Structure 1
Amino acid sequence: MPLPSQRKLLPEQLRWTCDPGQFDFTTTDDLPELEGTLGQARALASIDFGLDIRESGFNLFLTGEAGTGRTSTIKNILKKKAKTEPIPSDWVYVNNFKSPDLPIALALPAGKGTELSLDMDELITTVRSIIPKALDSKEYENNKATIVEAYQEKNNELFGQLEAEAQEKGFALQRTVSGLVMVPQKEERNYTQEEYEALSDQEKGKLEEGGQELTEKLNDVLRQVRDNEKQTKESLAQLDRDLGNASVGHHIDPLREKYGESPKVLEYLNTVQEDIIANLEDFKPQQQVQSPIPGLKLPRQEPSFERYQVNVFVDNHDAEGAPVVFEPNPTYSNLFGRTEHIMQMGGTATTNFTMIKPGALHRANSGYLIVDAREVLVNPYSWDALKRCIRSAEIKFEDPLEQYRFITIVSMKPEAIPLQAKIIMIGSPWIYYLLYHLEPDYRKFFKVKVDFDSRIARTPEVLKDYALFVSTHCKNEKLLPFDRSGVAGLIEYSARLVEDQEKLSSQFMEIADLIREASYWAGKDGGGPVTHAHVANAIEQKVYRSNRIEERMQELFDDGTILVDVDGAMPGQINGLSVISLGDHTFGRPSRVTARVYLGRAGMVNIEREVKLSGPIHDKGVLILTGYLGGKFAHDKPLSFSASICFEQNYEGVEGDSASSTELYCLLSAFSGVPIRQGIAVTGSVNQHGMIQPIGGVNFKIEGFYAVCKAKGLTGEQGVIIPKSNERHLMLNDEVVQAVRDGKFHIWSVETIDQGIELLTGVAAGERQEDGTYPEESINHLVDKRLREMIESMKMFGASDKDEKKQEGEK
């Protein structure tokens, strides 16, 4: 019987062909570069909103499949936008002279940070030269000598008066190990012990009374001496301050005027001047240190002037607008900075404010920071610290390992820097939803979702932009240009990637790879423009590099190891189609599906499910078959049967419901006894009403069955039945399309099970009549008849079982 042709697809329906004539260029060298992003209107609108709104928490999360241009798009947008925004301040860290472990952060206009550092270096160099000269000057020495002489004169006068009074009373002022004491004397010498013991009690009392009175006066003198000493030290200190102010003040005053707009800088300069004056000794020439070992010269111990340096933490002197920082490795220290240490003898680690190093967040302050979401999550402490910074709007220096150390090392707590930056995270949809549902703080801090689609609508504007995209890549990477046919072939490949005649792929990573490969093969072919043939060759070579397993499987079909019939007819047997994905390569293969029906009450038995080789979606598809049969044939009788369905020679898991219509066709054939044409393979899912639903991988499935038919010999009666809703997804290769055009292979589309079973058997399915029956000799009539016969047989067996039990009971 000839095959029905009313649902046969025409060759023009099997793929969309891009017309090169619609392009008005000779090669892509004639085209400018693409400005902006190809497609992605939704994502671009979300980016504009997220970048323009300045309220807290409206950071961006760019989600979408890899290769959709998320990173390149946001970089290009920010590159243009940042240039129009003000340049942020420089940040420097300076010494806190009161608390050295709490360095001070200073904000300065862009470029002023480096200037302040150079100015301070110049100041200290100048001061180190001026102060020693001032300290060695005759004027300073004379003033110092005058103060010291006045102190000595006051002391000499006090002690002279005290000694004269003591001498009148027979005492002398003497220095002992315990200090100055009043000692009684006899004939200008001290009493001997024997002489003192020989004195009468009255004489001893008189001496003691005089000694006590003089001792009190001595204490008064010593107090006055201490007061004089204190006044002298104050006078010397004031002399040094005057010297310091005279030597340093007029050098710092220009800096005060230069940085007068920053109160914190002025305060810092004041503390610098005070510290210099308080430590003038550091500026004196250092003496050679005496070595305990004769002949060994020790180096001079120079004082450190590092405390006066300025650590230029963030330098924006050469910036052209707001900063845009992409951090590919967002470890804790790379994001939030670090404090370096110097190991010294004994294993101790020291640090100071000059060893504070910035992180990406510091460099991106008042601008934009781009990070990969996965990298942030896998690096310890990074995500939690990033949340804290956004929440507090400041960047703090913290050592996350401090609480885990057994040995405490010298550390600092630098002053926090205010944070005002847009954080942009890039991640897959899986990471986005993981954070959205499991991370409570995520929705507070990343309120703007930027969703990049993996496919875009095919419009004339998009086609022109695709050509500009090709031009941009060829020029940027110095590749051979594409002619119109080459661009057309590339666009057809893009439609093939998404399996849609009305869509194009926006996974530009794969498109860019094909551009490079096609340019390579064009170079091998003489170096002319890239044509459609070069693109086709690049695709073919790309498949060849990855399809070893497909070829090995095809050999199993060819030599009969895997049993598949592509001609003849057989009841209860059909060719289903499946897709195998190996990551870098996807291909289709036919699978023989068989069904057996017999008396029983087990219902539908899915052999794959019984041995745990099927997934839940496939199991659902099989259970739908029972619903279909019940609705179709159990309106006037109960269903009572046993049936088994099996994917023959299947040794791996089965998942998906795309074979549910295939299994139903096979089951109907087994019930009716009508053979199925083995030259037709089937794909499509089915619902309980018998409607055929779309499936994925339709092109791979058709091409996989075509390859088997071609190897076993094309008869002109072979083909594939697909769901009608999958017609727009057809982007078959040229060989299959040509075989259809030559009448050697066929593609049919169906909407219902009844349409499909008619194609497979050549027998009418049959519509239910008013009396509830189906037309004679139709498929549905034969199925209904077989089900009734099975019920009657079950009743007969049931009645005989009851009679046997009754007879046994009577006995």
Structure 2
Amino acid sequence: MEKYRLSPDELFWRCDPNQFEFATTAELSSLEGAIGQDRALTAIEFGLGIEDDGFNIFILGEPGTGRSSTIKKILRKRAADRPVPADWCYVLDFEDETRPGLIELPAGKGKEFARDVETLVGRLAEDLPKVFESKTYEEQKNRIETEYQEKNKALFQKLEQQVSDEGFILQRTPNGLVLVPKKNEQPLSQQDYEALSDEERAALDRKGEAMQELLNEVLRQIRDLEGEMRREVARMEKDVLLSAVGQLFAELEEKYQAFDRILAHFESCKKDLLSRLEEFRPSQGPQITLPGLKMGGQEPSFDRYRINSFVDNSALKGAPVIYEPNPTYFNIFGRIEHVIQMGNAITNFTMIKPGALHRANGGYLILDCREVLINVFTYEALKRCIRNKEIRIEDMAEQFRLIATVSLKPRPVPLNCKIILIGPPLLYYLLYQLDTDFRKFFKVKADFDRMMKNTWENVQQYAQFIATHCREEKLLPFDPTGVSRVVEYAARLIEDKNRLSSRFLDLCDLIRESAYYAGLQGRERVDTSHVELALEAKIYRSNKTEERIQELIDDGTILVDTEGSVVGQINGLSVYMLGDYAFGKPSRLTVRTYLGKGGVINIEREAKLSGPIHDKGVMILSGFFGERFAQDKPLALAASICFEQSYAGVEGDSASSAELYALLSSLARLPLKQGIAVTGSVNQHGQIQPIGGVNEKIEGFFTVCKAKGMTGEQGVIIPAQNVKNLMLKPEVVEAVRNGQFHVWAVATIDQGIEILTGTPAGEAQEDGSWPEETVNGRVDRRLLSMAEVLRKFGRGGEKSGEKGD
């Protein structure tokens, strides 16, 4: 037994505080980058460096391993050296107002352009209406009207002379101009007309028809002159308006002469202004204004000439780094806002708003993969943007409408952005397997490990990490003992003396809590006592259930023996997982063996209380017995295995070695020491295999033994492979040092059964037999006798059957 017993130094790895060359972490420089993530950092550098399509990055790893904080630091540092991307502006397309135009400008120019145009719009609204009130406009209009009035007058004078020469008078009536025959310069009366002879009347009528045609011709000429006058006035007004508009635009055209797209837009604006000439004339009569309703007397609007400074990068000092915590469709790809006026939803190009992808264009966009997947449309639209290399703003509700509605269709923005998704490994592998597009668009995998090697360099970086965190959050600094205890806790988290945890979220919480308790005590630095206090306080906040179970063991409600020896009974060890807290407690496991061919019956399985892994562990036991004891005889064995007082599900194979020990004990009729608990899985060759939760299991049984009374004979048997996982509490280590408690590490069932029974296991001899008075020898004889008895019963049955026949 002594050769399998572990020394106190093997139960815990101690981080020596003397290796640190500082008084407090305040003396250390800040940590740059991540600790122990060389593989992931290499992948990130590759993904950020390559510019080819599809080499976006998926960062996978467990939450709390520093995935988000690390990539943000890397991107901020890298983005500072990259050029600031261009600004983007939306303008009205006067040919198709439903498809706003897009203008690209150097960084900072978009905001300036929008501000300049806003000033221009103000001047247009102020100056253009005054054009039609100016003296110059009135003079030119009066000149044109006077000129055409003279032409009209000349036509009428000539017409009147011709009519008079032919014996007619031109009279004006409410119905228009009328030709009337005259006599002695007076209109011919009806009586005089009737007194004329037929030949005179006919001649007069012929003259009247000719004069009427002449009148109609003159009237047509007058109408043509009036049309010419209106057209001349319109040309004049356009010239006057164009002159005024040209003066207003001239300054901006000179300023932006290097931007052809802006100059073309200005030309379109001027053409549109000329086409709206009627709106700029002074209104006649009272004005009627209703909200959202444009009446005839309302002032003209110049909003259509404004600029939507869609993406403004004037404040950037490098490439943008955008993290969108809520990646809804509209938050990522932008939206078109509406306002409700008179019961209608009104929008225009100035209400187009950018999304995170627009703001990150030319830089980097960081998204949480889970959030992307749970938001409708986002993932598919993101792939579509990557595939088409453009960001298109669309109304997704349009797909579900029965009737199509008129809406804006903004022109898409070209996409040049590195997209980084962050998620757990499960999501990465599911997407890779189920979505063929995923592997094309996210070709770089950066895998953040949950652990790192326990090296001197990494321990020193841990100290820098603590220093950086204290500096950033203005916490009390740690002294070397405090740093050492945090590093030891990191090894405990990962359950490996040769590894340190990368779950920095948990470590940051420990740093904060330790600094808090140091502050309560009025200390200027955090030492190991404060870290211990924080750990104990965290356990106290979470271990209510553990204490309740311990109380049930103490008062005998849950039956657990820690003294004496019993045949076919052993203490197995289980781990209870309650969210962020895990603890171990012993469970009594009993085995009963008897004559039969039923094999090993797992009562938990029959009651449907066990999981598949536990069932597999029990089935392995049959393979062990068959290989070791059934080479020269059949197994005439029936056995039942049960976890006593277990009313919930049982899963895992860590109790399979305990079940095998109890089976051997029952068959050999050798009692097992109840002061020794067992954990470990077993294979068909009888080799003990490692398990998880070894620290919690040992500490759980230690707590029970301490409550019931330490005898110096108590302890736990663990797999030899789990020795490297031991990071036990100082209380347990001290008890082992004082000989009150023990931990044994075994590699085979034979080694464990010797500890539990105090009897040699025995080795198979050349003829296949086993030495007498060994555990294996006693089991072999018992199985042989059971086979003989079963054979005799079989013969008796055959004879009885023959006699009956």
- What is the TM-score of this pair, normalised by structure 1? 0.93
Tell me, in whole angstroms, the C-alpha distance in 2 between the residues paired with 1:392 and 1:192: 89
Match of 2:558 among 547, 552, 562: 562
| 1:398 maps to 2:394 | yes
In the other structure, the counterpart of 1:262 is: 259
In the other structure, the counterpart of 1:341 is: 338
Tell me, in whole angstroms, the C-alpha distance in 1 between the residues paired with 2:462 and 2:797: 76
In the other structure, the counterpart of 2:43 is: 46
Shift in Å at residue 242 of structure 1? 2.5
Tell me, in whole angstroms, the C-alpha distance in 1 between the residues paired with 2:182 and 2:483: 127
Tell me, in whole angstroms, the C-alpha distance in 1 between the residues paired with 2:212 and 2:700: 120
Shift in Å at residue 327 of structure 1? 1.0
Tell me, in whole angstroms, the C-alpha distance in 2 between the residues paired with 1:190 and 1:798: 156
Tell me, in whole angstroms, the C-alpha distance in 2 between the residues paired with 1:93 and 1:325: 22
Kept in 2: contact 1:501–1:731 (CA 8 A): yes
Per the alignment, do residues 78 and 639 of structure 1 end up closer, same or farther by CA in structure 2, a change over 3 Å counting? same
Instruction: Report Cα offsets for 1:730-765 as digits up to 9, x if no partner.
Output: 000001111111111111111111111111111122
- The letter of the residue matching 1:766 is G
My pick for the range that moved more, 167-176 or 320-329, is: 167-176
The 5-angstrom pairing of residues 691-706 of structure 1 reads: 691-706=687-702
Secondary structure (helix, strand or coil) at the match of 1:401 reads helix
In the other structure, the counterpart of 1:355 is: 351
- What is the TM-score of this pair, normalised by structure 2? 0.93
In the other structure, the counterpart of 1:240 is: 237
In the other structure, the counterpart of 1:798 is: 794
Match of 2:24 among 27, 37, 41: 27
Shift in Å at residue 46 of structure 1? 1.1
- The letter of the residue matching 1:308 is Y
In the other structure, the counterpart of 1:588 is: 584
Q: Aligned-pair RMSD on alpha carbons?
A: 2.8
The 5-angstrom pairing of residues 673-712 of structure 1 reads: 673-712=669-708
My pick for the range that moved more, 780-789 or 717-726, is: 780-789
- The letter of the residue matching 1:580 is Y
Shift in Å at residue 97 of structure 1? 2.2
Shift in Å at residue 254 of structure 1? 2.6
Shift in Å at residue 146 of structure 1? 2.3
Per the alignment, do residues 782 and 270 of structure 1 end up closer, same or farther by CA in structure 2, a change over 3 Å counting? same
Kept in 2: contact 1:578–1:701 (CA 8 A): yes
My pick for the range that moved more, 330-339 or 530-539, is: 330-339
Tell me, in whole angstroms, the C-alpha distance in 1 between the residues paired with 2:23 and 2:555: 49
Per the alignment, do residues 175 and 676 of structure 1 end up closer, same or farther by CA in structure 2, a change over 3 Å counting? farther
Kept in 2: contact 1:171–1:182 (CA 8 A): no
In the other structure, the counterpart of 1:649 is: 645
Tell me, in whole angstroms, the C-alpha distance in 2 between the residues paired with 1:193 and 1:412: 76
Instruction: Report Cα offsets for 1:233-271 as digits up to 9, x if no partner.
Output: 443333223223332323322322222222211111111
The 5-angstrom pairing of residues 171-190 of structure 1 reads: none
Instruction: Report Cα offsets for 1:617-654 as digits up to 9, x if no partner.
Output: 11111111111111111212222321111111111101
Shift in Å at residue 210 of structure 1? 6.9
Shift in Å at residue 281 of structure 1? 4.8
| 1:579 maps to 2:558 | no
- The letter of the residue matching 1:46 is A
Secondary structure (helix, strand or coil) at the match of 2:776 reads helix
In the other structure, the counterpart of 2:77 is: 80
Tell me, in whole angstroms, the C-alpha distance in 2 between the residues paired with 1:173 and 1:419: 78
Match of 2:120 among 123, 134, 142: 123
Kept in 2: contact 1:93–1:354 (CA 8 A): yes
Q: Where does the alignment leave 5 or more consecutive residues of structure 1 unmatched?
A: 293-297
Per the alignment, do residues 216 and 711 of structure 1 end up closer, same or farther by CA in structure 2, a change over 3 Å counting? farther
Instruction: Report Cα offsets for 1:357-411 as digits up to 9, x if no partner.
Output: 2111111111111121111122222222222222211111211112435787663
In the other structure, the counterpart of 2:53 is: 56
In the other structure, the counterpart of 1:503 is: 499
In the other structure, the counterpart of 2:140 is: 143
Shift in Å at residue 138 of structure 1? 3.0
Tell me, in whole angstroms, the C-alpha distance in 1 between the residues paired with 2:23 and 2:188: 126
Secondary structure (helix, strand or coil) at the match of 1:545 reads helix
Tell me, in whole angstroms, the C-alpha distance in 2 between the residues paired with 1:96 and 1:197: 75
In the other structure, the counterpart of 1:531 is: 527
Instruction: Report Cα offsets for 1:563-622 as digits up to 9, x if no partner.
Output: 111121111111111100000210001111111111111111110000100000111111
Kept in 1: contact 2:166–2:207 (CA 8 A): no
Per the alignment, do residues 416 and 754 of structure 1 end up closer, same or farther by CA in structure 2, a change over 3 Å counting? same
Per the alignment, do residues 290 and 467 of structure 1 end up closer, same or farther by CA in structure 2, a change over 3 Å counting? closer
- The letter of the residue matching 1:555 is E
In the other structure, the counterpart of 2:769 is: 773
- The letter of the residue matching 2:390 is E
Per the alignment, do residues 160 and 744 of structure 1 end up closer, same or farther by CA in structure 2, a change over 3 Å counting? same
Tell me, in whole angstroms, the C-alpha distance in 1 between the residues paired with 2:71 and 2:316: 19
Instruction: Report Cα offsets for 1:172-206 as digits up to 9, x if no partner.
Output: 878899x9788675767699799899997997799
Per the alignment, do residues 700 and 174 of structure 1 end up closer, same or farther by CA in structure 2, a change over 3 Å counting? farther
Shift in Å at residue 526 of structure 1? 2.1
- The letter of the residue matching 2:654 is S
Instruction: Report Cα offsets for 1:753-792 as digits up to 9, x if no partner.
Output: 1111111111122222111111112211211211111111
Match of 2:311 among 299, 309, 314: 314
Kept in 2: contact 1:467–1:487 (CA 8 A): yes
Match of 2:457 among 438, 461, 465: 461
- The letter of the residue matching 2:688 is I
Aligned identity (percent) is 54
Match of 1:513 among 509, 512, 536: 509
Per the alignment, do residues 702 and 231 of structure 1 end up closer, same or farther by CA in structure 2, a change over 3 Å counting? same
Kept in 2: contact 1:132–1:285 (CA 8 A): yes
The 5-angstrom pairing of residues 272-283 of structure 1 reads: 272-283=269-280
The 5-angstrom pairing of residues 349-498 of structure 1 reads: 349-405=345-401, 411-498=407-494
- The letter of the residue matching 1:88 is P
Kept in 2: contact 1:128–1:283 (CA 8 A): no
The 5-angstrom pairing of residues 627-638 of structure 1 reads: 627-638=623-634
The 5-angstrom pairing of residues 282-293 of structure 1 reads: 282-286=279-283, 289=286
Shift in Å at residue 444 of structure 1? 2.1
Tell me, in whole angstroms, the C-alpha distance in 1 between the residues paired with 2:604 and 2:629: 26
- The letter of the residue matching 2:427 is I
| 1:545 maps to 2:560 | no
Per the alignment, do residues 33 and 805 of structure 1 end up closer, same or farther by CA in structure 2, a change over 3 Å counting? same
Shift in Å at residue 168 of structure 1? 6.1
Per the alignment, do residues 580 and 146 of structure 1 end up closer, same or farther by CA in structure 2, a change over 3 Å counting? same
Secondary structure (helix, strand or coil) at the match of 1:749 reads strand
Instruction: Report Cα offsets for 1:469-511 as digits up to 9, x if no partner.
Output: 1111111111111100000000000100000001111111110
Kept in 2: contact 1:662–1:684 (CA 8 A): yes
Per the alignment, do residues 367 and 639 of structure 1 end up closer, same or farther by CA in structure 2, a change over 3 Å counting? same
Equivalences, count:
798
Per the alignment, do residues 161 and 707 of structure 1 end up closer, same or farther by CA in structure 2, a change over 3 Å counting? same
In the other structure, the counterpart of 1:295 is: none
Tell me, in whole angstroms, the C-alpha distance in 1 between the residues paired with 2:432 and 2:195: 102
| 1:99 maps to 2:96 | yes
Secondary structure (helix, strand or coil) at the match of 1:370 reads strand
Shift in Å at residue 139 of structure 1? 2.9
Q: Where does the alignment leave 5 or more consecutive residues of structure 2 unmatched?
A: 290-294
- The letter of the residue matching 1:630 is G
Kept in 2: contact 1:184–1:190 (CA 8 A): yes
Match of 1:65 among 49, 62, 82: 62
Tell me, in whole angstroms, the C-alpha distance in 2 between the residues paired with 1:631 and 1:720: 28
Secondary structure (helix, strand or coil) at the match of 1:604 reads strand
